[in-house]
Amino acid sequence: MAAVTSPNQNLKTSLKYLLLILVALVFVFPIVFMVVSSFKPDAQLLRDTSSFNAFLPVGDVSLDNYFAAFERAPVGLFVFNSILVTAITVIGSLFLCSMAAFAFAFLEFRGKSIVLSIIIATLIVPFETIAVPMLMVVNALPWLGSDGITWGWLNTYHVQIVPFLADALTIFLFVQFFRDLPKELIEAARLDGASWFQVYSLVIVPISGPVFATAAILKFLAMYNQYLWPLMVTQSEQYRPVMVGLQYFFQLNTAWGEVMAYLSMITLPVLAFYLFLQRAFITSIASTGIKG
C-alpha cells in the first residue's frame, strides 16, 4: 500500500529540513569564511566582512596568503610535529586507557572503586593548576635516548607525549562502555581458556569500535589543540606544534589573510581525521550489532 502523506506532513518535513539546514549553515559558515578569506588580500578581506561577500570567493583571489604563510613560519614543520605528537599520544592513550578500563570493568582487586574514583576525580583539576609543577617534574626527569641518559625533557617530542598518554576522561569513557558489554562474551571466552589479555585483545577490542573512535576523536582534538604545555616546554622551534605556530602570525599589523591561510592548512588534518573515524564509527556499530 502506497504511503499517503498529507500536505501538513510535507510542510512539517520541509520546515524540519529548513531548520536543519539553517543549523548546519551556522556551523559551516565560519569554516567557509576562513577558507574563502584565505584567498583574499587583507584590505579586501576586512572590507568584505561587512557583507555576504565574506563567504564568497570574489574580488582579488589568489594563493598569495599561502605562499606568505610558508615564508613567515615553518608551517610544514609545525603540522608534522603536531601530527606526530598527536598520533603517538592517541595510539598510546587508546591502548593504555582501554587496558586500564578493562581492569576496572572486568577484574576484581582490592580498592578498585577507590582507585577509579580518584582517577575520575582528577577530571575536576584544571590543567593550568598543575602545569608549573609538571614542568618542574619533567625538567628533572631522566630519559634514555640515542645519546644515553640525559636529564630534563624540555625541547623534545616525548615531553609533549608521555604526560598525556593516560587521562581520566578516556579511561572513564572506556569503563562506561565496557560495563555495558554482555558479560556472557567474557565468560564464554574464559571458559574456552582465553587469558585476560586474549579476552581484551580478541573479544573486547573488536567489538569496542564506537568507544575507540569516540576516545580517539576526543583525544586527537585535545592533543592537536594543545597550546599551554608545548608553549612551556618547547623553547626550540624544531619541536613546536601548530597552535604555538599560530602566534607567529599575530604582529603589530596582523596579516589576517595569512592567518586564515594558516588556519585552513592546520584544520585539514582535523577534518580528515574526523571524517575517517566517523566512517569507522558507523561501520563499527553496523558490524557489531551493539548499540549504545
Partner 1 sequence: MKSLRLLTTSLAIATAMSTAAFAQTELTMWYHGAGSTVERDLINTIISDFNGSQSDWTVTLQEFPQAAYNDSVVAAAVAGNLPDIIDVDGPVMPNWAWAGYMQPLQLSEGALDGFLPGAIGKYNGEVYSVGLWDAAIAMYARRSTLEKFDIRIPTLDEPWTREEFDEILATLKESGEFEYPLNLGMADQGEWYPYAFGPFLWSFGGDMVDRSSYQTAEGALNGDAAIEFGEWWQSLFTNEYAPGTSQDMADHETGFIDGDYALQWNGNWVAVNTLNALGDDVLFLPAPDFGTGPKIGGASWQFGVSATSEHPEGASAFIEFALQPEYLAAFSDGIGLIPATAEAAAMTENYKEGGPLEVFYGLSEAQATLRPVTPGYVFQALEFRKALSDIANGADVVDALDAATDAINDDIARNNNYATAQ
The residues binding partner 1 (CB under 8 A) are: 43, 46-47, 49-50, 71-73, 132, 135-136, 139, 152, 154, 228, 231-233, 235-237, 244-245, 247-253
Q: Is the CB of 44 or the CB of 214 nearer to partner 1?
A: 44
Q: What is the DSSP string of 200-258?
A: IIIIIGGG-HHHHHHHHHHHHHHHHT--HHHHHH--SGGG--HHHHHGGG--SS--HHH
Angle between helices 7-37 and 256-288 (to 10 degrees): 130
DSSP H or E stretch at residue 143: strand 142-145
C-alpha cell at 100: 586500564
Whole-number Å distance between alpha carbons of 46 and 98: 48
SS3 168: helix
Least distance from partner 1 to the Cβ atom of residue 230, Å: 10
Q: Is the CB of 5 or the CB of 235 nearer to partner 1?
A: 235
Least distance from partner 1 to the Cβ atom of residue 227, Å: 8
Least distance from partner 1 to the Cβ atom of residue 234, Å: 9
Q: Is the CB of 6 or the CB of 50 nearer to partner 1?
A: 50
Whole-number Å distance between alpha carbons of 263 and 261: 5
Least distance from partner 1 to the Cβ atom of residue 217, Å: 27
Q: Is the CB of 23 or the CB of 228 nearer to partner 1?
A: 228
Least distance from partner 1 to the Cβ atom of residue 96, Å: 27
Q: Is the CB of 175 or the CB of 261 nearer to partner 1?
A: 261
